[in-house]
Structure 1
Amino acid sequence: MKHYNYIFTGTGLAALMTVYKMTLSGKFTNKSILLVDESSKKNNDRTWCFWKKEPSIWEEVITQKWDYALFANENFRRNLNLEPYQYCKIKGIDFYQFVFEALSKAKNISFLNEKVTNINELETHVYVSTENKAFTCDQVFNSIYNKAALEQQSKFPVLQQHFIGWQIQSKEAVFQAEVPTFMDFSVAQKGNTRFMYVLPFSENEALLEYTLFSHSLLENSEYENEIVNYIQKLGISNYKIIEKEQGSIPMSCYPFWKKNTRRVLNIGTAGGWTKASTGYTFKNSDKLSSRLIHFIETETDFRKFHRKSKFWFYDLLLLDILDKENEKGSRIFSSMFKKGNPALIFKFLDEKTSLVEDIQVILKCPKTLFIKALFHSVRYF
């Protein structure tokens, strides 16, 4: 039975970021690494967006950058100047190809396209089995999400950021190529938090995603009917669909870190790396994977990795509100973006604000809703 220093069970965003940064550091060339996933990551299955101030290690795969973004609801529209930030887009397939090409050159890294069937931590090592093989290792980075474990608990709210997106090419030149639509709440809310998200690539081409923050998924036809309605509202009558994408991202402040053990660390969605209040994944995974690299250079006990911050509590308050009054999302985000400083809001979502800056952002939100959530939050401790 072959032994590795590290096994990555699942090769999602967090896993690929982490192992790529391990190769960049040059400090793990003497460590054997195995990546196991039943998916070979050869399809363009998603689009990631994030904001940044300085150049990142992902510059080569960023295909679009914007300095402005639109926020809208049924009553107002506001163009947001994002300076000093830029809003950036990465296609899933470009990211996969970029990372796998780099990893394929590392002699200490192996790949296996099989489904993981068991992870068993023993006294001195971890046993990992797939449908056809078995291995041992010193430590496991697990990104296989256990949906049932989250949904079977009732203490912490669990919502989904779920969406269907169409990349379309239209005959009519209707898109502002330099201004993506961050959130457009002018669509019918129907008792939920529903908005359109638009990434324009030119005057004639864009990705349109009908998105909800809610408990339950819809029938595919409902997402797509709303996309068609929105396309018509934009004045488009002649278009073709280039690509489709679909996703559902859990939004919860459930303490995933309590599942970490000495030798098994849950990362990505499985470890709660998704930003709970927004569903943004790329930015948080980038930050946490970098911290993880520094951690494993000096520490061996994965139970020490997690740090709870004030932002976990802020996210908890928002999710508590949306759990009980899901239709209030438009009101909350509209209050924040109508007069708030866009750069400060993005800094807040980036979890880099001071307490004074936190208060400046939070005071833009409906106070009564958050005061009620604050009193209710005692149940989570």
Structure 2
Amino acid sequence: MKVNVAILGAGCAGLALARCLKEQGFSGSVLLLESRQCYENDRTWCYWAKPDSQWHKMAQYRWQQCLFSSLNDAQHIHYYDSTSYCCLPAENYYDFCLQQLDSANVSLKMEVEVVSVSPTRSQSWLVETTAGNLEADIVIDTRPRPCEAILYQSFLGYEVTLSRPIFAPDTVRLMCNMHGDNQCMRFYYILPFSPWHILIEPTVFHRYPLNPDLLKDDLQSALRAEDIEIESIIRRESAILPMGQTHLEGSVLVKGGIAGGALRASSGYGFLRIQAWALACAQSIITKQKAFSHQQHHLQARMDHLFLNVIKHNPVDGPDYFIRMASQLNGDQFSAFMSDEAGMKEWMQVISALPKWPFIKEVMAGG
């Protein structure tokens, strides 16, 4: 079997690339290979988006204010005028992409494991799979892979219905009850879908990958802090996200998604970055017959890595740093900073908000 483009992995990034190839008018053959048996509503993607954007319209839930708080009662609320904090459930995204991919030249094979990928003498690729071998002109690998990082963001989320309504259902608890010890920084996150329906997610920034099942005590603490009584559990989600990747697994393949460096190092947000990469990569395949991995802005990556190293070595002070940032920037400025749209003004405000000595020490130490 011979195809023009083989996409390994049909998750967020793989589906986005295939969809963009079709939308941009690619006439060649595209094959997605996915190991899972079926798609499930197993995660949510959150991001800031403006009302005229595609992903603002696609979001199932939107909010205009977010709360930050620490365990010592410091708190700040962001109000958004020109943007919204958005949530897109996985089932909505998968359905949208799969409908867009209903095409003669794009195909998806599920329950297929990729065994190996190797170059051929004819400048193509031989892809060996559990369903047989194929040859492809271009291969993009979007499968998740272990990687080294400065910190790891582990979270355990439960979508639940409540016995009584939650307080302030119009406000996302973005980083609440932040506190740190000498190992990590902890907080929880609540998306109120309605007064009676929420997603609650305890989160840890740790120097090592932490099994999300170990966060069940954090979940109980968050429920007590918010005086929440669960009536029923709808579903569970969990993940370990690399923050500030320091080494990507060696490969000659073009990579996309998390393994390709899609996540914003200092926050773990990546959905809009993946969509932007997918569009640019699709255009490059069409015009230049060449794919590429996520492109990092050097200054932003350097600043993010510096910030993460400071958090890594000073986790007790981490909550104060985030509260300072939230207080110094208004809602729209903060969303621009988190969405890779910050200008020099926002960067200078972030720098001025943070204490200087921990960062100077980190620079001197080579962090």
Normalising to structure 1: TM-score of the pair? 0.88
User: How many angstroms does 1:325 deviate by?
Assistant: 2.9
Q: Aligned in 2, Cα 1:303/1:44: closer, same or farther, shift over 3 Å?
A: closer
Give the match for residue 53 of structure 2.
56
Aligned residue type for 1:134: N
Alignment of 1:267-286 (within 5 A): 267-286=256-275
Deviations 1:4-29 (A, max 9, x none): 0000001121111111111122x20x
User: How many angstroms does 1:36 deviate by?
Assistant: 0.2
User: How many angstroms does 1:188 deviate by?
Assistant: 6.4
Long gaps (5+) in structure 1: 152-156
Q: Aligned in 2, Cα 1:247/1:303: closer, same or farther, shift over 3 Å?
A: closer
> Out of 57, 62, 67, which is 2:64 matched to?
67
* CA–CA distance in structure 2, aligned partners of residues 188 and 175 of structure 1: 25
Aligned residue type for 2:85: Y
Long gaps (5+) in structure 2: none
Deviations 1:161-215 (A, max 9, x none): 1100111211211232211111113456574111101000111211000001112
Deviations 1:197-255 (A, max 9, x none): 10001112110000011123445554122212221222234532221111111112436
Q: Does 1:12 align with 2:14?
A: no
Aligned residue type for 1:183: M
> Out of 53, 78, 93, which is 1:80 matched to?
78
Give the match for residue 142 of structure 2.
143
Q: Aligned in 2, Cα 1:304/1:142: closer, same or farther, shift over 3 Å?
A: closer
Three-state SS of the structure 2 residue aligned to 1:158 is strand
Q: Aligned in 2, Cα 1:122/1:315: closer, same or farther, shift over 3 Å?
A: farther
* CA–CA distance in structure 2, aligned partners of residues 230 and 307 of structure 1: 35
Q: Is the 8 A contact 1:344 1:361 kept in 2?
A: no
Q: Is the 8 A contact 1:255 1:272 kept in 2?
A: no
User: How many angstroms does 1:85 deviate by?
Assistant: 1.2
Alignment of 1:127-142 (within 5 A): 127-142=126-141
Aligned residue type for 1:64: Y
* CA–CA distance in structure 1, aligned partners of residues 318 and 273 of structure 2: 22
* CA–CA distance in structure 2, aligned partners of residues 163 and 305 of structure 1: 24
Q: Is the 8 A contact 1:259 1:266 kept in 2?
A: no
Give the match for residue 254 of structure 1.
246
Q: Is the 8 A contact 1:61 1:98 kept in 2?
A: no
How much identity, in percent, do the aligned residues show?
24
Count of aligned pairs between the two proteins: 364
Aligned residue type for 1:128: V
Give the match for residue 114 of structure 2.
116
Alignment of 1:31-50 (within 5 A): 31-50=28-47
User: How many angstroms does 1:259 deviate by?
Assistant: 5.2
Alignment of 1:148-163 (within 5 A): 150-151=147-148, 157-163=149-155
Give the match for residue 176 of structure 1.
168
Three-state SS of the structure 1 residue aligned to 2:152 is strand
* CA–CA distance in structure 1, aligned partners of residues 155 and 230 of structure 2: 23
Give the match for residue 352 of structure 1.
341
User: How many angstroms does 1:121 deviate by?
Assistant: 2.1
* CA–CA distance in structure 1, aligned partners of residues 334 and 58 of structure 2: 26
Q: Does 1:340 align with 2:338?
A: no
* CA–CA distance in structure 1, aligned partners of residues 331 and 183 of structure 2: 27
* CA–CA distance in structure 1, aligned partners of residues 293 and 93 of structure 2: 30
Two-structure CA RMSD over aligned residues (Å)? 2.3
> Out of 91, 94, 107, which is 2:92 matched to?
94
Greater percentage in strand: 2
Q: Aligned in 2, Cα 1:219/1:269: closer, same or farther, shift over 3 Å?
A: closer
Q: Is the 8 A contact 1:41 1:96 kept in 2?
A: no
Q: Is the 8 A contact 1:260 1:302 kept in 2?
A: no
> Out of 261, 280, 284, which is 1:291 matched to?
280
Q: Aligned in 2, Cα 1:96/1:346: closer, same or farther, shift over 3 Å?
A: same
> Out of 157, 168, 182, which is 1:165 matched to?
157
* CA–CA distance in structure 2, aligned partners of residues 41 and 101 of structure 1: 15
Q: Is the 8 A contact 2:256 2:294 kept in 1?
A: no
* CA–CA distance in structure 1, aligned partners of residues 294 and 161 of structure 2: 45
Q: Does 1:228 align with 2:220?
A: yes
Q: Is the 8 A contact 2:151 2:205 kept in 1?
A: yes
* CA–CA distance in structure 2, aligned partners of residues 187 and 325 of structure 1: 11
Aligned residue type for 1:212: V
